[in-house]
Structure 1
Protein backbone atom coordinates (compact mmCIF):
# COMPACT_ATOMS: atom_id res chain seq x y z
CA UNK A 1 0.00 0.00 0.00
CA UNK A 2 1.17 3.53 -0.80
CA UNK A 3 -0.87 6.38 0.67
CA UNK A 4 0.23 9.98 1.25
CA UNK A 5 -1.67 12.46 3.43
CA UNK A 6 -0.85 16.16 3.44
CA UNK A 7 -2.05 18.46 6.23
CA UNK A 8 -1.47 22.20 5.83
CA UNK A 9 -0.95 24.83 8.52
CA UNK A 10 -4.71 25.45 8.70
CA UNK A 11 -5.37 21.80 9.56
CA UNK A 12 -6.91 21.01 6.15
CA UNK A 13 -6.05 17.54 4.87
CA UNK A 14 -5.95 15.78 1.54
CA UNK A 15 -5.33 12.08 0.92
CA UNK A 16 -3.56 10.83 -2.20
CA UNK A 17 -4.16 7.12 -2.64
CA UNK A 18 -6.51 5.46 -5.13
CA UNK A 19 -9.89 6.94 -6.03
CA UNK A 20 -10.67 9.77 -6.52
CA UNK A 21 -7.11 11.19 -6.21
CA UNK A 22 -4.71 8.57 -7.53
CA UNK A 23 -0.96 8.40 -6.94
CA UNK A 24 0.74 7.43 -10.20
CA UNK A 25 4.35 8.29 -9.33
CA UNK A 26 6.07 9.25 -6.06
CA UNK A 27 9.80 10.08 -5.98
CA UNK A 28 12.15 11.56 -3.39
CA UNK A 29 10.91 9.50 -0.46
CA UNK A 30 14.13 7.51 -0.16
CA UNK A 31 16.90 9.26 -2.07
CA UNK A 32 18.29 12.63 -1.00
CA UNK A 33 21.32 14.55 -2.25
CA UNK A 34 24.44 14.69 -0.05
CA UNK A 35 27.23 17.26 0.05
CA UNK A 36 30.56 15.55 0.82
CA UNK A 37 32.80 17.77 2.94
CA UNK A 38 36.57 17.36 2.62
CA UNK A 39 39.86 19.19 2.73
CA UNK A 40 43.06 18.87 0.72
CA UNK A 41 46.63 19.58 1.81
CA UNK A 42 49.44 20.59 -0.57
CA UNK A 43 50.80 17.61 -2.54
CA UNK A 44 48.10 15.32 -1.08
CA UNK A 45 46.67 12.62 -3.31
CA UNK A 46 42.92 12.81 -3.11
CA UNK A 47 41.54 14.56 -0.04
CA UNK A 48 40.66 13.99 3.64
CA UNK A 49 37.01 13.24 4.33
CA UNK A 50 35.44 15.52 6.95
CA UNK A 51 31.68 15.09 6.93
CA UNK A 52 28.54 14.50 4.88
CA UNK A 53 25.77 17.13 4.79
CA UNK A 54 22.35 16.01 3.56
CA UNK A 55 20.50 18.52 1.40
CA UNK A 56 16.78 19.37 1.72
CA UNK A 57 14.50 16.62 0.46
CA UNK A 58 12.29 17.16 -2.59
CA UNK A 59 9.20 14.95 -2.90
CA UNK A 60 7.49 14.81 -6.31
CA UNK A 61 3.99 13.40 -6.63
CA UNK A 62 2.30 12.76 -9.96
CA UNK A 63 -1.31 11.71 -9.97
CA UNK A 64 -4.72 11.86 -11.58
CA UNK A 65 -8.18 13.00 -10.55
CA UNK A 66 -10.37 10.00 -11.36
CA UNK A 67 -13.47 11.98 -12.28
CA UNK A 68 -14.90 12.34 -15.79
CA UNK A 69 -17.67 14.76 -14.89
CA UNK A 70 -16.29 18.25 -15.60
CA UNK A 71 -17.98 19.84 -12.57
CA UNK A 72 -16.58 17.22 -10.17
CA UNK A 73 -13.15 17.44 -11.78
CA UNK A 74 -13.04 21.23 -11.32
CA UNK A 75 -14.13 20.88 -7.69
CA UNK A 76 -11.22 18.50 -6.94
CA UNK A 77 -8.77 20.81 -8.73
CA UNK A 78 -9.89 23.69 -6.51
CA UNK A 79 -9.64 21.43 -3.45
CA UNK A 80 -6.04 20.44 -4.28
CA UNK A 81 -5.09 24.08 -4.92
CA UNK A 82 -6.69 25.19 -1.64
CA UNK A 83 -5.00 22.59 0.56
CA UNK A 84 -1.65 22.59 -1.27
CA UNK A 85 -1.13 26.35 -1.03
CA UNK A 86 2.58 27.31 -0.75
CA UNK A 87 1.66 30.59 1.00
CA UNK A 88 0.62 28.58 4.07
CA UNK A 89 4.21 27.51 4.79
CA UNK A 90 5.21 24.19 6.30
CA UNK A 91 2.71 21.36 6.38
CA UNK A 92 2.90 17.74 7.50
CA UNK A 93 3.33 14.89 5.03
CA UNK A 94 2.40 11.43 6.32
CA UNK A 95 3.40 8.47 4.17
CA UNK A 96 2.09 4.92 4.61
CA UNK A 97 4.24 2.51 2.62
CA UNK A 98 4.11 -1.29 2.87
CA UNK A 99 2.91 -1.20 6.48
CA UNK A 100 5.39 1.47 7.60
CA UNK A 101 4.24 4.97 8.59
CA UNK A 102 6.55 8.00 8.71
CA UNK A 103 6.05 11.76 8.57
CA UNK A 104 8.03 14.79 7.43
CA UNK A 105 7.41 18.53 7.21
CA UNK A 106 7.52 20.29 3.85
CA UNK A 107 6.41 23.38 1.97
CA UNK A 108 4.98 23.42 -1.54
CA UNK A 109 7.66 24.29 -4.13
CA UNK A 110 5.16 26.25 -6.21
CA UNK A 111 1.47 25.67 -6.79
CA UNK A 112 0.23 22.29 -8.06
CA UNK A 113 0.47 21.94 -11.85
CA UNK A 114 -2.45 20.66 -13.97
CA UNK A 115 -1.29 19.85 -17.53
CA UNK A 116 -3.66 20.22 -20.45
CA UNK A 117 -5.85 17.13 -20.66
CA UNK A 118 -5.71 16.74 -24.43
CA UNK A 119 -7.26 13.34 -25.12
CA UNK A 120 -6.84 12.15 -21.52
CA UNK A 121 -10.07 11.27 -19.79
CA UNK A 122 -8.72 12.15 -16.35
CA UNK A 123 -7.02 15.32 -15.11
CA UNK A 124 -3.36 14.78 -14.28
CA UNK A 125 -1.48 16.88 -11.71
CA UNK A 126 2.05 17.37 -10.35
CA UNK A 127 2.93 18.48 -6.81
CA UNK A 128 6.42 19.11 -5.39
CA UNK A 129 7.27 19.60 -1.71
CA UNK A 130 10.58 20.91 -0.38
CA UNK A 131 11.39 19.46 3.06
CA UNK A 132 14.01 21.66 4.81
CA UNK A 133 14.93 18.78 7.11
CA UNK A 134 15.47 15.63 5.01
CA UNK A 135 14.70 13.20 7.83
CA UNK A 136 11.53 11.16 8.17
CA UNK A 137 10.07 11.04 11.68
CA UNK A 138 8.33 8.26 13.55
CA UNK A 139 4.83 9.67 14.28
CA UNK A 140 4.68 7.65 17.51
CA UNK A 141 6.66 9.57 20.10
CA UNK A 142 8.38 7.73 22.94
CA UNK A 143 8.19 8.99 26.53
CA UNK A 144 10.06 7.88 29.63
CA UNK A 145 9.71 9.09 33.22
CA UNK A 146 12.82 9.47 35.35
CA UNK A 147 11.36 10.46 38.69
CA UNK A 148 8.09 11.34 40.43
CA UNK A 149 6.64 12.41 43.76
CA UNK A 150 3.34 11.77 45.56
CA UNK A 151 0.93 14.72 45.56
CA UNK A 152 -2.43 16.06 44.46
CA UNK A 153 -1.14 18.48 41.81
CA UNK A 154 -3.26 18.69 38.64
CA UNK A 155 -1.37 19.40 35.44
CA UNK A 156 -2.48 22.60 33.66
CA UNK A 157 -1.72 21.08 30.25
CA UNK A 158 -2.32 17.78 28.54
CA UNK A 159 1.29 16.64 28.28
CA UNK A 160 2.46 14.03 25.75
CA UNK A 161 3.48 11.45 28.32
CA UNK A 162 2.21 9.41 31.23
CA UNK A 163 3.47 10.30 34.69
CA UNK A 164 5.20 7.16 35.91
CA UNK A 165 7.48 6.20 38.76
CA UNK A 166 11.14 5.64 37.98
CA UNK A 167 14.55 6.41 39.38
CA UNK A 168 16.77 9.51 39.01
CA UNK A 169 18.46 7.90 36.03
CA UNK A 170 17.46 5.55 33.27
CA UNK A 171 18.53 4.23 29.87
CA UNK A 172 16.67 5.56 26.83
CA UNK A 173 16.90 3.80 23.46
CA UNK A 174 16.78 5.75 20.19
CA UNK A 175 15.74 3.42 17.36
CA UNK A 176 16.37 6.00 14.64
CA UNK A 177 19.18 6.48 12.13
CA UNK A 178 20.40 9.81 13.59
CA UNK A 179 20.56 11.52 17.01
CA UNK A 180 17.09 12.60 18.19
CA UNK A 181 16.13 15.93 19.74
CA UNK A 182 14.17 15.70 22.99
CA UNK A 183 11.41 17.44 24.92
CA UNK A 184 12.03 17.56 28.66
CA UNK A 185 9.36 18.26 31.30
CA UNK A 186 10.36 18.76 34.94
CA UNK A 187 7.72 19.20 37.63
CA UNK A 188 8.84 20.90 40.82
CA UNK A 189 9.74 21.46 43.51
CA UNK A 190 13.35 21.53 42.35
CA UNK A 191 16.24 24.02 42.27
CA UNK A 192 18.63 24.37 39.33
CA UNK A 193 17.70 21.10 37.58
CA UNK A 194 20.22 19.49 35.26
CA UNK A 195 19.85 16.68 32.71
CA UNK A 196 22.95 14.73 31.64
CA UNK A 197 23.38 12.32 28.76
CA UNK A 198 26.26 10.30 30.17
CA UNK A 199 26.60 8.39 26.88
CA UNK A 200 27.65 11.37 24.74
CA UNK A 201 28.67 13.80 27.50
CA UNK A 202 26.03 16.43 26.70
CA UNK A 203 24.27 18.24 29.55
CA UNK A 204 21.70 20.97 30.05
CA UNK A 205 20.99 23.04 33.17
CA UNK A 206 18.43 25.70 34.10
CA UNK A 207 19.48 28.07 36.88
CA UNK A 208 16.08 28.62 38.46
CA UNK A 209 13.87 27.22 41.19
CA UNK A 210 10.78 25.38 39.93
CA UNK A 211 7.85 25.56 42.37
CA UNK A 212 5.55 22.66 43.18
CA UNK A 213 2.81 24.10 40.95
CA UNK A 214 5.16 24.67 37.99
CA UNK A 215 6.41 22.56 35.09
CA UNK A 216 9.64 23.40 33.27
CA UNK A 217 9.45 22.54 29.56
CA UNK A 218 12.57 22.35 27.35
CA UNK A 219 12.58 21.56 23.62
CA UNK A 220 15.94 20.92 21.91
CA UNK A 221 14.49 20.59 18.38
CA UNK A 222 16.19 22.67 15.68
CA UNK A 223 13.99 25.63 14.79
CA UNK A 224 11.78 25.13 17.86
CA UNK A 225 14.25 25.47 20.75
CA UNK A 226 12.57 26.78 23.87
CA UNK A 227 12.72 26.93 27.66
CA UNK A 228 9.34 27.62 29.28
CA UNK A 229 7.46 27.44 32.55
CA UNK A 230 3.87 26.16 32.70
CA UNK A 231 1.97 27.62 35.67
CA UNK A 232 -1.79 27.86 36.28
CA UNK A 233 -2.61 27.35 32.63
CA UNK A 234 -0.17 29.99 31.37
CA UNK A 235 3.21 29.77 29.59
CA UNK A 236 6.21 31.90 30.62
CA UNK A 237 9.44 32.23 28.62
CA UNK A 238 12.47 31.51 30.86
CA UNK A 239 15.06 31.04 28.09
CA UNK A 240 17.39 33.46 29.90
CA UNK A 241 17.77 31.07 32.84
CA UNK A 242 19.45 28.42 30.68
CA UNK A 243 23.03 27.89 31.85
CA UNK A 244 25.50 29.52 29.48
CA UNK A 245 27.51 26.32 28.98
CA UNK A 246 24.48 24.11 28.39
CA UNK A 247 24.13 22.05 25.22
CA UNK A 248 20.91 21.24 23.36
CA UNK A 249 21.19 17.59 24.25
CA UNK A 250 20.16 14.79 21.91
CA UNK A 251 19.85 11.03 22.15
CA UNK A 252 22.51 9.17 20.19
CA UNK A 253 21.39 6.20 18.12
CA UNK A 254 21.07 3.18 20.38
CA UNK A 255 21.22 3.24 24.18
CA UNK A 256 21.64 6.50 26.15
CA UNK A 257 22.27 6.70 29.90
CA UNK A 258 20.33 9.71 31.22
CA UNK A 259 20.62 11.21 34.70
CA UNK A 260 18.77 14.02 36.49
CA UNK A 261 20.49 16.00 39.24
CA UNK A 262 19.68 19.30 40.98
CA UNK A 263 20.98 21.57 43.74
CA UNK A 264 17.85 20.80 45.78
CA UNK A 265 14.61 18.88 45.38
CA UNK A 266 15.83 16.25 42.92
CA UNK A 267 14.36 13.49 45.09
CA UNK A 268 10.86 15.07 44.98
CA UNK A 269 10.60 16.27 41.38
CA UNK A 270 9.26 14.50 38.31
CA UNK A 271 11.18 14.33 35.04
CA UNK A 272 9.88 13.03 31.70
CA UNK A 273 11.72 12.91 28.37
CA UNK A 274 9.94 12.59 25.04
CA UNK A 275 11.35 12.10 21.53
CA UNK A 276 10.57 10.90 18.03
CA UNK A 277 13.07 8.65 16.28
CA UNK A 278 14.35 10.04 12.94
CA UNK A 279 15.24 8.16 9.73
CA UNK A 280 17.19 8.97 6.55
CA UNK A 281 14.65 7.23 4.31
CA UNK A 282 11.56 5.07 4.14
Structure 2
Protein backbone atom coordinates (compact mmCIF):
# COMPACT_ATOMS: atom_id res chain seq x y z
CA UNK A 1 0.00 0.00 0.00
CA UNK A 2 1.33 3.48 -0.79
CA UNK A 3 2.12 5.83 2.07
CA UNK A 4 0.46 9.15 1.36
CA UNK A 5 2.17 12.40 2.24
CA UNK A 6 0.47 14.62 4.73
CA UNK A 7 1.27 18.19 5.57
CA UNK A 8 3.66 18.51 8.48
CA UNK A 9 0.96 20.12 10.60
CA UNK A 10 -1.28 17.05 10.31
CA UNK A 11 0.72 14.94 12.76
CA UNK A 12 -1.56 14.60 15.78
CA UNK A 13 -0.43 16.84 18.62
CA UNK A 14 3.08 17.29 17.23
CA UNK A 15 4.97 20.57 17.49
CA UNK A 16 7.81 21.14 15.01
CA UNK A 17 7.16 17.83 13.18
CA UNK A 18 9.62 16.20 10.78
CA UNK A 19 9.46 16.64 7.01
CA UNK A 20 7.42 13.82 5.52
CA UNK A 21 7.65 13.16 1.80
CA UNK A 22 5.54 11.04 -0.55
CA UNK A 23 6.81 7.47 -0.75
CA UNK A 24 5.21 4.43 -2.33
CA UNK A 25 6.76 1.23 -1.04
CA UNK A 26 5.68 -2.30 -0.19
CA UNK A 27 5.06 -3.07 3.46
CA UNK A 28 8.23 -3.43 5.54
CA UNK A 29 8.21 -5.01 8.98
CA UNK A 30 10.82 -5.95 11.58
CA UNK A 31 10.46 -9.07 13.76
CA UNK A 32 12.95 -9.76 16.53
CA UNK A 33 14.07 -13.22 17.64
CA UNK A 34 11.32 -13.29 20.29
CA UNK A 35 8.57 -12.80 17.71
CA UNK A 36 7.77 -9.13 18.36
CA UNK A 37 6.82 -7.45 15.07
CA UNK A 38 6.84 -3.75 14.18
CA UNK A 39 5.33 -2.56 10.90
CA UNK A 40 7.73 0.16 9.74
CA UNK A 41 5.57 1.63 6.97
CA UNK A 42 2.36 2.22 8.91
CA UNK A 43 1.10 5.79 9.25
CA UNK A 44 -1.87 4.89 11.45
CA UNK A 45 0.39 3.26 14.03
CA UNK A 46 2.98 6.02 14.09
CA UNK A 47 5.62 4.87 11.61
CA UNK A 48 6.51 6.57 8.33
CA UNK A 49 9.20 5.16 6.05
CA UNK A 50 11.08 8.01 4.37
CA UNK A 51 12.85 8.21 1.00
CA UNK A 52 16.43 6.97 1.07
CA UNK A 53 16.11 3.25 1.80
CA UNK A 54 19.26 1.44 0.65
CA UNK A 55 20.47 -2.15 0.35
CA UNK A 56 17.30 -3.93 -0.76
CA UNK A 57 18.54 -5.04 -4.17
CA UNK A 58 21.80 -6.64 -5.33
CA UNK A 59 24.50 -7.21 -2.69
CA UNK A 60 28.16 -6.43 -3.28
CA UNK A 61 30.41 -9.09 -4.78
CA UNK A 62 34.04 -10.10 -4.41
CA UNK A 63 35.62 -11.27 -7.66
CA UNK A 64 38.62 -13.59 -7.74
CA UNK A 65 40.73 -13.24 -10.89
CA UNK A 66 44.06 -14.41 -12.24
CA UNK A 67 46.34 -12.59 -14.65
CA UNK A 68 48.69 -14.23 -17.14
CA UNK A 69 51.81 -12.40 -18.39
CA UNK A 70 51.15 -13.64 -21.94
CA UNK A 71 47.39 -12.96 -22.14
CA UNK A 72 45.70 -9.58 -21.94
CA UNK A 73 43.07 -9.08 -19.29
CA UNK A 74 42.11 -11.37 -16.40
CA UNK A 75 40.41 -14.73 -16.01
CA UNK A 76 37.63 -14.82 -13.40
CA UNK A 77 38.14 -17.82 -11.12
CA UNK A 78 35.21 -17.26 -8.82
CA UNK A 79 33.01 -14.78 -7.01
CA UNK A 80 31.52 -14.33 -3.59
CA UNK A 81 28.36 -12.47 -2.57
CA UNK A 82 29.14 -10.22 0.38
CA UNK A 83 27.10 -9.79 3.53
CA UNK A 84 24.87 -6.77 3.04
CA UNK A 85 23.79 -3.71 5.02
CA UNK A 86 20.27 -2.27 4.78
CA UNK A 87 19.52 1.36 5.65
CA UNK A 88 15.98 2.31 6.69
CA UNK A 89 15.10 6.00 7.27
CA UNK A 90 11.92 6.11 9.35
CA UNK A 91 10.04 8.62 11.48
CA UNK A 92 8.31 7.52 14.68
CA UNK A 93 5.69 9.74 16.29
CA UNK A 94 3.15 9.49 19.09
CA UNK A 95 -0.12 11.19 20.01
CA UNK A 96 1.54 12.67 23.10
CA UNK A 97 4.89 12.50 24.89
CA UNK A 98 4.03 9.44 26.97
CA UNK A 99 2.72 7.55 23.94
CA UNK A 100 5.84 8.43 21.94
CA UNK A 101 8.28 7.40 24.68
CA UNK A 102 6.49 4.10 25.32
CA UNK A 103 6.42 3.30 21.59
CA UNK A 104 10.09 4.17 21.09
CA UNK A 105 11.27 2.17 24.09
CA UNK A 106 9.25 -0.82 23.02
CA UNK A 107 10.69 -0.70 19.50
CA UNK A 108 14.28 -0.19 20.59
CA UNK A 109 13.98 -3.25 22.81
CA UNK A 110 13.38 -5.32 19.67
CA UNK A 111 16.57 -3.89 18.12
CA UNK A 112 18.82 -5.28 20.86
CA UNK A 113 21.50 -7.29 18.99
CA UNK A 114 22.11 -9.40 22.09
CA UNK A 115 18.78 -11.08 21.33
CA UNK A 116 20.20 -12.58 18.15
CA UNK A 117 19.10 -12.28 14.55
CA UNK A 118 15.80 -10.66 13.69
CA UNK A 119 13.92 -10.74 10.39
CA UNK A 120 13.11 -7.95 7.96
CA UNK A 121 10.09 -8.76 5.79
CA UNK A 122 9.02 -7.02 2.59
CA UNK A 123 5.43 -7.77 1.58
CA UNK A 124 4.05 -6.84 -1.83
CA UNK A 125 0.48 -5.70 -2.48
CA UNK A 126 -0.43 -9.18 -3.78
CA UNK A 127 0.59 -10.76 -0.46
CA UNK A 128 3.86 -12.29 -1.67
CA UNK A 129 6.84 -11.65 0.56
CA UNK A 130 10.56 -12.13 1.04
CA UNK A 131 12.54 -12.10 4.27
CA UNK A 132 16.15 -11.57 5.31
CA UNK A 133 17.82 -12.14 8.67
CA UNK A 134 19.59 -9.15 10.17
CA UNK A 135 20.74 -7.46 13.35
CA UNK A 136 20.85 -3.80 14.37
CA UNK A 137 24.17 -2.00 13.84
CA UNK A 138 23.59 1.75 14.27
CA UNK A 139 21.34 4.74 13.75
CA UNK A 140 19.27 5.02 16.94
CA UNK A 141 21.88 6.29 19.35
CA UNK A 142 19.72 9.35 20.04
CA UNK A 143 19.92 12.59 18.04
CA UNK A 144 18.12 15.58 19.58
CA UNK A 145 18.87 18.02 16.77
CA UNK A 146 16.09 20.33 15.63
CA UNK A 147 15.67 18.43 12.35
CA UNK A 148 15.97 15.00 13.96
CA UNK A 149 13.58 14.93 16.90
CA UNK A 150 10.89 16.72 18.80
CA UNK A 151 8.86 16.27 21.94
CA UNK A 152 6.63 13.65 20.31
CA UNK A 153 8.59 12.41 17.28
CA UNK A 154 12.02 11.20 16.19
CA UNK A 155 13.72 10.57 12.85
CA UNK A 156 15.82 7.39 12.75
CA UNK A 157 18.32 6.17 10.16
CA UNK A 158 18.47 2.47 11.06
CA UNK A 159 21.34 0.36 9.70
CA UNK A 160 20.89 -3.41 9.75
CA UNK A 161 23.61 -5.94 8.95
CA UNK A 162 22.60 -9.14 7.12
CA UNK A 163 25.08 -12.04 7.51
CA UNK A 164 23.60 -13.75 4.46
CA UNK A 165 23.15 -11.63 1.34
CA UNK A 166 20.09 -13.58 0.21
CA UNK A 167 16.43 -12.77 0.63
CA UNK A 168 14.36 -15.89 1.34
CA UNK A 169 11.15 -16.62 -0.54
CA UNK A 170 8.10 -18.35 0.85
CA UNK A 171 8.70 -21.88 2.16
CA UNK A 172 8.03 -24.82 -0.14
CA UNK A 173 6.67 -28.02 1.42
CA UNK A 174 6.24 -31.29 -0.49
CA UNK A 175 5.09 -34.73 0.70
CA UNK A 176 6.00 -38.06 -0.89
CA UNK A 177 4.38 -41.30 0.18
CA UNK A 178 1.34 -43.53 0.11
CA UNK A 179 -1.74 -41.32 0.32
CA UNK A 180 0.31 -38.11 0.34
CA UNK A 181 -1.69 -35.05 -0.64
CA UNK A 182 1.03 -32.48 -1.29
CA UNK A 183 2.15 -31.04 -4.60
CA UNK A 184 4.12 -33.48 -6.71
CA UNK A 185 6.41 -33.23 -9.69
CA UNK A 186 5.74 -34.67 -12.22
CA UNK A 187 1.93 -34.81 -12.14
CA UNK A 188 1.82 -38.31 -10.66
CA UNK A 189 3.00 -38.57 -7.04
CA UNK A 190 6.04 -40.52 -5.98
CA UNK A 191 4.38 -43.35 -4.04
CA UNK A 192 6.05 -45.41 -1.34
CA UNK A 193 5.22 -49.06 -1.92
CA UNK A 194 5.78 -52.15 0.18
CA UNK A 195 9.44 -53.27 0.26
CA UNK A 196 10.94 -50.38 -1.71
CA UNK A 197 10.40 -47.16 -3.59
CA UNK A 198 12.27 -45.98 -6.65
CA UNK A 199 10.85 -42.54 -7.28
CA UNK A 200 11.86 -39.67 -9.52
CA UNK A 201 10.62 -36.11 -9.19
CA UNK A 202 11.52 -32.67 -10.53
CA UNK A 203 12.14 -29.68 -8.24
CA UNK A 204 12.12 -26.27 -9.93
CA UNK A 205 14.12 -23.88 -7.78
CA UNK A 206 12.86 -20.42 -8.76
CA UNK A 207 15.54 -18.63 -6.76
CA UNK A 208 18.73 -16.92 -7.90
CA UNK A 209 21.01 -19.14 -5.81
CA UNK A 210 21.23 -22.67 -4.48
CA UNK A 211 18.53 -23.68 -1.97
CA UNK A 212 19.22 -26.12 0.84
CA UNK A 213 16.58 -28.74 1.68
CA UNK A 214 15.42 -30.22 4.97
CA UNK A 215 14.33 -33.87 4.60
CA UNK A 216 11.98 -35.50 7.13
CA UNK A 217 11.81 -39.28 6.73
CA UNK A 218 9.15 -41.27 8.57
CA UNK A 219 9.96 -44.98 8.93
CA UNK A 220 10.03 -47.82 8.49
CA UNK A 221 12.96 -48.14 6.10
CA UNK A 222 16.12 -50.25 6.15
CA UNK A 223 18.06 -47.88 3.89
CA UNK A 224 17.54 -44.51 2.24
CA UNK A 225 19.31 -42.92 -0.73
CA UNK A 226 18.25 -39.44 -1.92
CA UNK A 227 20.01 -38.05 -4.98
CA UNK A 228 20.15 -34.92 -7.09
CA UNK A 229 20.66 -36.54 -10.48
CA UNK A 230 21.24 -33.14 -12.07
CA UNK A 231 24.43 -32.63 -10.06
CA UNK A 232 25.36 -36.27 -9.40
CA UNK A 233 25.37 -35.78 -5.63
CA UNK A 234 23.54 -37.93 -3.06
CA UNK A 235 23.36 -38.89 0.59
CA UNK A 236 22.64 -42.32 2.07
CA UNK A 237 21.26 -43.45 5.42
CA UNK A 238 22.81 -46.81 6.29
CA UNK A 239 20.92 -47.66 9.52
CA UNK A 240 17.33 -48.87 9.78
CA UNK A 241 14.38 -46.72 10.79
CA UNK A 242 11.62 -48.27 12.83
CA UNK A 243 7.93 -47.67 12.19
CA UNK A 244 7.81 -44.92 14.83
CA UNK A 245 11.12 -43.30 13.91
CA UNK A 246 11.44 -39.86 12.34
CA UNK A 247 14.79 -38.80 10.87
CA UNK A 248 15.44 -35.14 9.95
CA UNK A 249 18.37 -34.52 7.60
CA UNK A 250 19.03 -30.77 7.48
CA UNK A 251 21.27 -29.69 4.58
CA UNK A 252 21.18 -25.96 5.29
CA UNK A 253 24.44 -24.04 5.34
CA UNK A 254 26.04 -23.78 8.78
CA UNK A 255 23.55 -26.37 10.10
CA UNK A 256 24.02 -29.75 8.36
CA UNK A 257 22.70 -32.27 10.88
CA UNK A 258 21.00 -35.66 10.93
CA UNK A 259 18.79 -36.09 14.02
CA UNK A 260 16.60 -39.08 14.93
CA UNK A 261 13.38 -38.47 16.89
CA UNK A 262 14.45 -34.95 17.78
CA UNK A 263 17.30 -35.94 20.10
CA UNK A 264 19.74 -38.55 18.74
CA UNK A 265 22.67 -37.59 16.52
CA UNK A 266 22.54 -39.82 13.45
CA UNK A 267 25.36 -38.18 11.54
CA UNK A 268 27.51 -41.34 11.97
CA UNK A 269 24.74 -43.29 10.17
CA UNK A 270 25.18 -41.31 6.96
CA UNK A 271 27.43 -43.02 4.41
CA UNK A 272 30.98 -41.65 4.33
CA UNK A 273 30.58 -40.43 0.74
CA UNK A 274 27.31 -38.60 1.47
CA UNK A 275 26.92 -35.00 0.30
CA UNK A 276 24.11 -32.89 1.76
CA UNK A 277 23.49 -31.32 -1.61
CA UNK A 278 21.45 -28.28 -2.58
CA UNK A 279 18.96 -27.46 -5.31
CA UNK A 280 20.62 -25.43 -8.05
CA UNK A 281 18.66 -22.56 -9.67
CA UNK A 282 16.26 -23.97 -12.23
CA UNK A 283 15.34 -27.63 -12.79
CA UNK A 284 16.66 -30.36 -10.47
CA UNK A 285 16.00 -34.05 -11.19
CA UNK A 286 15.70 -35.82 -7.85
CA UNK A 287 15.39 -39.52 -7.06
CA UNK A 288 14.54 -41.31 -3.82
CA UNK A 289 15.31 -44.98 -3.18
CA UNK A 290 13.97 -46.43 0.07
CA UNK A 291 14.17 -50.11 1.00
CA UNK A 292 12.23 -51.99 3.68
CA UNK A 293 9.26 -49.65 3.63
CA UNK A 294 5.53 -50.05 4.06
CA UNK A 295 2.48 -47.89 3.42
CA UNK A 296 3.32 -45.68 6.43
CA UNK A 297 6.70 -44.60 5.08
CA UNK A 298 6.80 -40.97 3.92
CA UNK A 299 9.39 -38.42 2.89
CA UNK A 300 8.78 -34.70 3.46
CA UNK A 301 10.78 -31.96 1.77
CA UNK A 302 11.03 -28.33 2.93
CA UNK A 303 13.15 -25.55 1.48
CA UNK A 304 13.18 -21.81 0.86
CA UNK A 305 14.33 -20.35 -2.47
CA UNK A 306 16.99 -17.64 -2.09
CA UNK A 307 17.02 -14.39 -4.06
CA UNK A 308 19.53 -11.61 -4.67
CA UNK A 309 16.87 -8.89 -4.43
CA UNK A 310 13.88 -8.14 -2.22
Query: Into which bin does the TM-score normalised by the smaller protein fall?
Result: 0.7 to 0.9
Distance 1:146 1:10 in 2: 33
Is contact 1:171–1:257 with CA below 8 Å preserved after alignment?
yes
Contact 1:176 1:278 survives alignment (8 Å): yes
Residue 176 of structure 2 is aligned with which of 143, 146, 158? 146
Matched-pair contact (CA < 8 Å) for 2:258–2:267: yes
Tell me the alpha carbon deviations over residues 72-99 of structure 1, each in whole angstroms, 9 at most, x when there is no partner.
2222221121011111121111112454
The 2-side partners of 1:145 and 1:278 are apart by: 21
Question: Tell me, what secondary structure is at the counterpart of 1:107?
Answer: strand
TM-score for the superposition, normalised by structure 2: 0.79
- TM-superposed deviation, 1:42: 2.9
1:112 CA displacement: 2.6
Quickly say closer, same or farther: Cα 1:31–1:149, change in 2 above 3 A. closer
Deviations 1:221-255 (A, max 9, x none): 1122210112xxx5322122122211121112222
In 2, the alpha carbon distance for the partners of 1:76 and 1:229 equals: 44
Within the candidate set 209, 213, 224, 2:244 is matched to 213
Structure 2 regions of 5+ residues with no counterpart? Answer: 2-25, 192-198
- Provide the C-alpha distance between the structure 1 equivalents of 2:256 and 2:235, rounded to a whole number of angstroms: 13
Structure of higher CA gyration radius: 2
Aligned mates of 1:128, 1:85 — CA distance in 2: 13
C-alpha contact 2:226 2:234 (8 A) present in aligned 1: yes
- Is the 2:223–2:292 contact (alpha carbons within 8 Å) kept by the matching residues of 1? no
Question: What CA RMSD, in Å, does the superposition of the two structures yield over aligned residues?
Answer: 2.3
Quote how far apart the aligned CAs of 1:41 are.
Answer: 2.3
Question: Shift in Å at residue 197 of structure 1?
Answer: 0.7
Contact preservation (8 Å) 1:178, 1:252:
yes
Q: Give secondary structure in 2 for the equivalent of 1:181.
A: coil
Contact 1:7 1:92 in 2 (8 A): yes
SS in structure 1 of the partner of residue 106 of structure 2: helix
Q: 1:228 aligns to what? A: 259
